[in-house]
Homo-oligomer: A and B are copies of this chain.
């Protein structure tokens, strides 16, 4: 993939809309050309095909999330506070790019090899969050969990799935109203306050 000029990158969200609405399969390269205003031959000049356009969109969105997460993690607050910021950051990025998110749920496998996508998410999210969780144990604002990586996956899954449930049914996604509902589960847990933490 050649270096994509900003002028062209700026027009690709129109392609995401197409991918999200009809699916990658039912979107012809010609359709992308007319929706974005970038001629077919030019698209092939920059991208190997439509999957590479989706991959570009994905990497761009993931980079945004990585940036926001990094920012949230580096704030000068307690780990618990920063963790809520991470959740809100992810929701914000997803709310910002509904079309890309919808395009990805339906066609993730064509944005790249699944193991590589998993690696990219690990670097952008799991690793920083895992460190944050460990810091939380040190500063006393979070409880220790036996497996911080799994905990990070749980968080990512919780946020992703609830956000997608909104996007999938075309309801607007409001980070402000959704984040408390998610956070109360993962921070406070579902057991009543008086019950002893279970050791399973």
Chain A interfacial positions (CB closer than 8 Å to B): 23-25, 80, 83-84, 102, 105-110, 114-115, 117-118, 133, 136, 140-143, 145-147, 150-151, 153-162, 165, 168-170, 178-193, 197-198, 200
Contact = CB atoms under 8 A, between A and B. Distances in A.
A151 B178 CA distance: 10
Contacts of A182: 150, 154
A114 to B, nearest CB: 5
A157 B168 contact: no
A1 to B, nearest CB: 19
6 contacts: A84-B200, A108-B108, A143-B190, A150-B162, A154-B181, A161-B161
A136 B187 contact: no
Nearest to A107: B109
